Amino acid sequence: MTKATEPTEHVVSFYESKEKIHYREVKGRFDRLRDLSVITLLGGYYLAPWITWGGRQALLFDLPARKFYIFGLTFWPHDFIFLSWILIICAVSLFFFTALAGRLWCGYACPQTVWTEAFVWIERVVEGSHTKRKKLDKGPWNSEKILKKSTKQFLWLSFALWTGFTFVGYFTPIKELAASLFSNTAGGWEVFWVCFYGFATYGNAAFMREQVCKYMCPYARFQSAMFDKDTLVISYDEKRGEPRGRGKKGTNREDAGLGDCINCTLCVQACPTGIDIRDGLQYECIACAACIDACDSIMDQVGSPRGLIKYTTEHQIQGNKTKIIRPRIMIYGALLALLCIGFVAAISNRADLHLDVLRDRNALYRETTEGRVENVYTLKVQNKSNEAATIELIVTGLPGLTVDTDPPVLVLQSGELKTVPARVQVDRDAAQAGGHDIIFAIKRPEKEQPEASRDARFMLPIN
Ligand code: SF4
Ligand code: SF4
């Protein structure tokens, strides 16, 4: 009889410690395009709150006053629809551009990519190339390492706090914020948000980096649902590249049975997410095109045509023609165009005056000593323009209608909302007994057309 073997115990850890990726810097067409995008987007982000327009900050989301200033436009809580509209346009744009060109957003414009690029640039300036950085990480804590690491951390933290300060500067006038921070008189919440947003930037761009794209970003998970066989992806040309291998010096690769890939692994070293594009399309790929630049530089050196790794489509890889105009592109494109046109039209026709009419529910009507019938309403009038406005009230719908407000002349400052009682009177025999529709409208004396109107019900006695 054989003796039963003792069960052995294996401890399996579900935690895989993260190994820092020091990706290699490569130069090329797409690297220049990404640099341009990063400089433009970061430049816009840091400079925009400092622009002045009409005597105030051009971009200011003043939450306590519930007013959003965007250059010459002021948005109020009533205009929340426009914010929703912008968000819908952003979502449909993402669908449209993803279906057309894949993860263009991830590779060139996503804040995670943009700030990571900036943080890696600082790291490269302080610690040197990817090989020097790896060596420094592995080396002992000597004076050089302490100096380089502390300089990098200081620059990272300063940049992150400046990012947090700029972010808060979109919600609090940035010049006042800067003055209050320097004079140590800033409010607790302002300091909290500067630090919170600063440390979020620091954590994401200095440490998390590709982990955000791989494990946290929801877009990485669902973007494949918008892909089809004609979507632009970055792909390795397996037919041309395989079998890969270095080959002997002086031998013809074709004769040696080798493809164009010399297995230099430069494409892997250049990848910020640490994947090998030669293994096929992977969800970790953020389509930054660094592997294309890397491989193109190798192809140039060995005298082979560029494009072993390239932007292509699944149809093209299979030898078919790529269709750019296809139903989903047309649907997303038409929807996007309609939303944009509608948005521009709605913004340009947006009225500066807003009116709401509430009927007095305590009394249907009142008969005056002059034999007229009076209905009372409460008007809510708001001036959404950037200047004070004198407002005329007009009521139509029945012959001989008159209206009295208290005060008789309405003058509203910029942004002011006034609640005003209004008494509307008409002769008893002006119309049949019962309810009648009337229209309240407001206009400025210098304008011909009313800028806002509301329907209301006017009651005449039944007996
Ligand atoms: S595989 Fe290429 S395109 Fe994808 S993330 Fe890596 S370097 Fe960028
Ligand atoms: S860079 Fe090009 S040649 Fe080098 S391993 Fe990658 S695919 Fe092959």
Answer yes or no: is pLDDT of 326 > 80. yes
Q: What is the pLDDT of residue 383?
A: 87
Nearest CA to ligand 1 atom 6: 271
What's the whole-number average pLDDT of the chain?
Answer: 89
Q: What is the pLDDT of residue 415?
A: 78
Ligand 2 pocket test: which of 295, 301, 310 has the largest number of ligand atoms within 8 Å of its C-beta? 295
Nearest CA to ligand 2 atom 7: 261
Q: What is the pLDDT of residue 6?
A: 67
State the Cα–Cα distance between residues 396 and 193, nearest whole angstrom. 52
Ligand 2 pocket test: which of 23, 266, 285 has the largest number of ligand atoms within 8 Å of its C-beta? 266
Answer yes or no: is pLDDT of 118 > 50. yes
Q: What is the pLDDT of residue 434?
A: 87
Question: Among the atoms of ligand 2, which is closest to the Cα of residue 309?
Answer: 7
pTM across the whole model: 0.81
The CATH architecture one would assign to domain 353-460 is Sandwich (2.60)
**How many beta carbons lie within 10 A of that of residue 205, not counting itself?**
25
Nearest CA to ligand 1 atom 8: 288
Nearest CA to ligand 2 atom 6: 267
Distance 137 CA to ligand 2 centre (A): 27
DSSP string covering 274-311, please? Answer: ---GGG---TT-----HHHHHHHHHHHHHTPPS-SEEE
Nearest CA to ligand 1 atom 7: 271
Question: Among the atoms of ligand 2, which is closest to the Cα of residue 265?
Answer: 5
Tell me the pLDDT band of 3, cut-offs 50, 70 and 90.
low
**Given the DSSP bridges, would you call strands 56-57 and 67-70 parallel, antiparallel or unpaired?**
unpaired
DSSP symbol at 361:
S
Q: What is the mean pLDDT of residues 393-402?
A: 91
Q: What is the mean pLDDT of residues 205-232?
A: 86
Residue ranges lining ligand 2, Cβ < 6 Å = 236, 241, 261-267, 278, 294-295, 298, 308-309
Question: Among the atoms of ligand 1, which is closest to the Cα of residue 286?
Answer: 5
Q: Which ligand is nearest to the CA of 24?
A: 1
State the Cα–Cα distance between residues 227 and 63, nearest whole angstrom. 39
The interaxial angle of helices 143-168 and 111-127, nearest 10 deg, is 150
State the Cα–Cα distance between residues 322 and 316, nearest whole angstrom. 6
Tell me the pLDDT band of 46, cut-offs 50, 70 and 90.
very high
Answer yes or no: is pLDDT of 89 > 50. yes
Ligand 1 pocket test: which of 27, 33, 267, 286 has the largest number of ligand atoms within 8 Å of its C-beta? 286
Lookup: tokens for 153 = 């951390």
Q: What is the pLDDT of residue 129?
A: 93
Q: Where are the domains of the chain?
A: 13-350, 353-460
Lookup: tokens for 398 = 């029945």
Question: Among the atoms of ligand 1, which is closest to the Cα of residue 274?
Answer: 6
Q: Scan for tokens 């807003």, then name that residue.
A: 354
Higher pLDDT, 252 or 60: 60
Selection from 35, 207, 29, 212 nearest residue 121 by Cα:
35
Ligand 1 pocket test: which of 21, 26, 223, 273 has the largest number of ligand atoms within 8 Å of its C-beta? 273
Distance 52 CA to ligand 1 centre (A): 40
Tell me the pLDDT band of 450, cut-offs 50, 70 and 90.
confident
Question: Among the atoms of ligand 1, which is closest to the Cα of residue 234?
Answer: 3
Give Cα 17 to chain centroid, integer Å. Answer: 32
State the Cα–Cα distance between residues 370 and 186, nearest whole angstrom. 62
Q: Which ligand is nearest to the CA of 235?
A: 1
Answer yes or no: is pLDDT of 1 > 50. no
State the Cα–Cα distance between residues 277 and 254, nearest whole angstrom. 23
Tell me how far CA of residue 343 lies from CA of 89, 303, 336, in angstroms: 9, 52, 10
311-318 long-range contacts, Cβ below 8 Å, gap at least 24?
A: 311/232, 311/233, 311/234, 312/232, 312/233, 312/234, 312/235, 312/237, 313/229, 313/230, 313/231, 313/232, 313/233, 314/229, 314/230, 314/231, 314/233, 315/229, 315/230, 317/235, 317/237, 318/229
Model confidence pLDDT, tens digit, residues 343-374 = 999 988 888 888 999 988 778 888 888 889 99
Answer yes or no: is pLDDT of 78 > 80. no
Q: What is the pLDDT of residue 87?
A: 93
Alpha helices in 104-187 (DSSP H): 104-108, 111-127, 130-138, 143-168, 174-182
State the Cα–Cα distance between residues 340 and 346, nearest whole angstrom. 10
Q: What is the pLDDT of residue 5?
A: 61
Judge contact between 195 and 164, C-beta under 8 A. Answer: yes
Nearest CA to ligand 2 atom 3: 261
Distance 304 CA to ligand 1 centre (A): 21
Model confidence pLDDT, tens digit, residues 9-42 = 777 666 666 678 899 999 999 999 999 999 999 9
Three-state SS for 234? strand
Residue ranges lining ligand 1, Cβ < 6 Å = 234, 270-273, 275, 277, 285-291
Nearest CA to ligand 1 atom 4: 285
Q: What is the pLDDT of residue 17?
A: 66
